[in-house]
Each structure stands twice: as structure tokens, then as C-alpha cells.
Amino acid sequence: MEIRNASDRQVVRAINSDSISSEDLVSREGWKLICQVRGRNFAAVNEVAWQDLCARRGYLLRRGNSRGF
């Protein structure tokens, strides 16, 4: 699923089912949209799924630059 063309409902479903693409997690635009959707639909986003998504994003960002800068 391309996050930029998805509805809020689709993005929330993708967050809760851990089906956000790695590309969307590391792209500035994709992450901004994901956070905006979460903010608008806070009660619908599963907290554990959100924490897992953030951890996955952190891993992907660190892996992209193994030296840490």
C-alpha cells in the first residue's frame, strides 16, 4: 500500500497490522503522514502496535547509517 494515497482508516489499519512499508517508515514525508493520521485517530491506534512500529523505524534508521551519524 502506498501511504500517500491511503485514507486515514487504511493507515490506521496498516499501523495496527504492522503492514507499513519500510520505505514509508524512513521517508520524512511518509513518517509525517503516519504521525498525522495517528494524531487524528489516537484512540483507534493500538498502543503496542505503535510502539512496535516506532522500534522498527528506529532500527531501520540506525541500520541505514551504521556509524550513527
**38 alpha-carbon distance from chain centroid:** 9
1, three cell numbers: 500500500
**What pTM value is reported for the model?**
0.88
Contact criterion met (CB below 8 Å) for 25 and 60: yes
List Cα–Cα distances, 62 to 21, 27, 30, 43, 56, in angstroms: 16, 14, 17, 29, 10
Query: Which pLDDT value is given to residue 2?
Result: 81
Residue 57 has a pLDDT of 97
List per-residue pLDDT tens for the chain, 69 residues long: 788 899 999 999 999 999 999 999 999 999 999 999 999 999 999 999 999 999 999 999 998 765 555
